[in-house]
Amino acid sequence: MKVACVGATGLVGTVMCEVLQERNFPITEFIPVASEKSAGGKFAFKGKEYIIHTLAEAVAAKPDLALFSAGASVSTEWAPKFAEVGTIVVDNSSAWRMDPSKKLVVPEVNGDAITPEDRIIANPNCSTIQMVVALAPLHKAYGIKRLVISTYQSVTGTGVKAVKQYDREHHGETVPNEEKAYKYQIHENVIPHCDIFLDNGYTKEEMKMVNETRKIMGDPNIKITATAVRVPVKGGHSESVNIEFEKDFAMEDVKKLLSESDGIELVDDAASFKYPMPLFAKGKNEVFVGRLRRDESHDKALNMWIVADNLRKGAATNAIQIAEYMMKHELISTEVVA
């Protein structure tokens, strides 16, 4: 398969290339794509060096698959151009997520929504992906009525600039305002502000979780409220989720259901101090679930703690799993249009 990686030199793009190698994705021709400034440079992949291409050159090559992680503006302009030449685009930006004509996919949850006609498939927001993996089997069994979410999101979710700010502050440096990803210091601090503020007082990140969750789960009636917080952690998002169900549940059934569900690793043994943490999720592709306990203030509510590597399952791994799902179900054709 001829594969283009758009944004290959970025934080998520680099991890995409790592995951492609680790999962032995079937690539006959690899096309790394980056900005005009990077074009012509060298890019290492699977022990070989490749020339970095421009977007126009990549479209002309008519790849079978294009993995996009280059921002919404790039995706809005270029994803349709790839689709026109027969390429399947899996886009990691926010450009297409809420477009009613595009599928928003987490393979373990709604992979069956993809059809042979889909040419641009949206990869959800990182914090949404890990949550819906954990929630989907419970929604199917008990019906989710309401979610109250608090996130604890790492600096890698913001990008390279944020990581540099964190590192410099960690080493005691004063970072000029123009070089900061955040208005405030992130080292030894917690910032209740992810993405931009909207007119309703919520941030864009918080509303992504509301809207994307409903779309992926196929249920617009789930009541959802969220608070998204940036924490001084370098890799891995954590979430505290309170779930109100339509039906009653038994804790042993919930644990059994989660332990048997694809993509989930249950780490829930308080007596042995075992629970999910970003420290142990780093570099892994699973969603880790723990701290399961009945909400003592509500007879049909459950508390849970969800952790995942936001650059892996929250971005790169999920995008590649979408492509793998499409290959398995013969939804990707290697016959491009003339």
- Residues with a catalytic annotation lie at 126, 237
CB 255 within 8 A of CB 266: yes
Measure the CA–CA gap between 216 and 242, rounded to whole angstroms. 19
> At 203, phi and psi to the nearest 5?
-90, 165
